[in-house]
Amino acid sequence: MKKIDVVLGLQWGDEGKGKVVDVLTPAYKVIARFQGGPNAGHSLVFDGDRFVLHTVPSGIFRPDSVNVIGNGVVIDPVILMDEIRAIEQKAGSITGKLLISKRAHLILPTHRMLDAASEAAKGKGKIGSTLKGIGPTYMDKTGRNGLRVGDILSPEFQDRYNALKQKHFGLLSQYDFEYDITDYEQQWMEAVEALRRFSFIESELVINDYLSNDVPVLAEGAQGSMLDIDFGTYPFVTSSNTMSAGVCTGLGVAPNRVGKVMGIFKAYCTRVGSGPFPTELFDGTGEELRRIGHEFGATTGRPRRCGWLDLVALKYAVMMNGVSELIMMKADVLNSFDTIKVATAYEIGGEQLDWFPFENGEQVKPIYREFPGWKCDITSVRRYEDFPQELKDYISFIERETGCPVKIISVGPDRKEIVLR
Ligand code: GDP
Ligand code: IMO
Ligand code: MG
């Protein structure tokens, strides 16, 4: 019997999950998303092309892979069908290699409006949501009002859709917010019809069956651990469990069937949207990171906030996820820096902490340790031995602090720009 391996982000998202899953897929047969929805933007770069996936698992371009959208995911049919069309232009039909859980919840056009209305009403306190309707859809899921993929097959689908829409209209009337869903609703209904060519499945049974038959399965996380609804920087988080625990509920896999947990982090740190970010840089160095790292959102195009690596938050994420190995991304972005800093502790009200506290607002001051930069181009390096000593020292320090080996180092966006240890 196989165990399910997991790839997930340890920071505030955009760590490079799409690239890593694409690189690892040849060793797996099945790739499954377990939470999140089109708030995700996972970039894949190969053969001179760049793809951004939002709902479809990042194994989709590999021949013979099976890609499962699990029950924990929320789906906007319009965005999913747009994505499918773009993939099929490059890769041909994916009808047979994309399976969708009947239990996955649907994002209605009015969920998007509720997301936008709620954000507008929050003013300066807004979350910085991607406005894809994620929060309102998960609210309807936990409130037991949601519509699911399996409901599309019911003769009552249209009636249930209308009833939920009317409920949303009632909620929207409490906001000073203008909207018109006519066009989007039409596209939505067309996309729902178009989706019927895919298999809607009991994904929990299918995945457990694969594992029982020794078929290797990889779970692909979205967002990052610090955006987790329970353990992230609440309320500036997303609405799902982004940590490894989410694999159990989002795919129906028992905890004792979870295998390796591969945690991804950038060699520095970014965040998009509002909320605490202790190591954020507001100076030229932050701008350099943004410029060299092309740190602009894959889903919304918004500039990402940039800063140094935060080991306090990283150690917390390693513990909470049970990370067994680390993957470091975008090391190449630091090529030209004279010195590289890492936060090893926080100072809060004169007290020093090396663990991640409940209080994580502006009162947190990071305490840094400095490392000399390597000042050379590592993009073409393919063997760990060939890395400059300064980078090896930086990696060793992270391994010592987290107690986890760094098994993969990414040195560029392309599929081939990777060093496996
Ligand atoms: P994800 O959401 O975790 O899949 O990450 P995103 O795709 O949103 O953001 C990662 C960005 O960094 C994308 O533009 C990738 O093409 C790019 N990228 C991934 N790995 C590397 C790397 O090692 N070096 C550089 N320079 N870019 C990378
Ligand atoms: P991937 O999978 C980075 C952030 C938003 C906002 C907060 C809530 O590409 O790493 P939501 O739309 O979920 O209600 O937004 O979470 N956020 C992400 N940030 N990467 C993502 O996904 C994100 N998905 C959501 O910017 O701050
Ligand atoms: Mg992303």
Does the CB atom of residue 45 touch ligand 1 within 6 A?
Answer: yes
Nearest Cα to Cα of residue 365 among 278, 283, 281: 278
Map tokens 């649907």 to a residue.
Answer: 106
Does the CB atom of residue 298 touch ligand 1 within 6 A?
Answer: yes
Distance 238 CA to ligand 1 centre (A): 20
Hey, whose CA ends up nearest to atom 17 of ligand 1?
Answer: 413
Would you state the pLDDT for residue 361?
Answer: 81
Question: Which atom of ligand 1 is nearest the CA belonging to 264?
Answer: 3
Q: What is the largest CA-CA distance in the chain?
A: 65
Does the CB atom of residue 381 touch ligand 1 within 6 A?
Answer: no
Question: Which atom of ligand 2 is nearest the CA belonging to 227?
Answer: 16
Question: Which atom of ligand 1 is nearest the CA belonging to 43?
Answer: 7
Nearest Cα to Cα of residue 72 among 57, 60, 82: 57
Check if the beta carbon of residue 6 is closer than 8 Å to that of residue 326.
no
Alpha carbon distance 254, 260 (integer Å): 14
Distance 16 CA to ligand 1 centre (A): 4
Half-sphere exposure of 331 (CA within 13 A, CB side): 30
Residues recorded for the chain: 421
Tens digit of pLDDT for each residue in 256-292? 999 999 999 999 999 999 999 999 999 999 999 999 9
Question: What's the pTM?
Answer: 0.97
Does the CB atom of residue 18 touch ligand 1 within 6 A?
Answer: yes
**Integer CA distances (angstroms), 199 to 76, 98, 152, 279, 310, in order:** 17, 8, 12, 45, 42
Query: Phi, psi at residue 274, to the nearest 5°?
Result: -85, 175
Would you state the pLDDT for residue 112?
Answer: 98
Q: What percent of the chain has pLDDT over 90?
A: 97
Question: Which atom of ligand 2 is nearest the CA belonging to 131?
Answer: 12
**Integer CA distances (angstroms), 272 to 43, 51, 167, 225, 309, in order:** 16, 20, 31, 14, 15
Does the CB atom of residue 220 touch ligand 1 within 6 A?
Answer: no
Tens digit of pLDDT for each residue in 244-256? 999 999 999 999 9
User: Which amino acid makes up residue 321?
Assistant: N
Would you state the pLDDT for residue 317?
Answer: 98
Would you state the pLDDT for residue 359?
Answer: 86
* Mean pLDDT (whole number) for 349-355: 94
The rounded mean pLDDT for the chain is 97
H/E stretch holding 400 = helix 389-402
Q: What percent of the chain has pLDDT over 70?
A: 100
What residues are labeled active site?
14, 42
* Mean pLDDT (whole number) for 378-398: 98
Distance 99 CA to ligand 2 centre (A): 24
Tens digit of pLDDT for each residue in 149-183? 999 999 999 999 999 999 999 999 999 999 999 99
Would you state the pLDDT for residue 2?
Answer: 97
Q: Give 298's pLDDT tier (boundaries 50, 70, 90).
A: confident
Tens digit of pLDDT for each residue in 105-153? 999 999 999 999 999 999 999 999 999 999 999 999 999 999 999 999 9
Tens digit of pLDDT for each residue in 46-86? 999 999 999 999 999 999 999 999 999 999 999 999 999 99
Distance 251 CA to ligand 1 centre (A): 25
Check if the beta carbon of residue 208 is closer than 8 Å to that of residue 199.
no
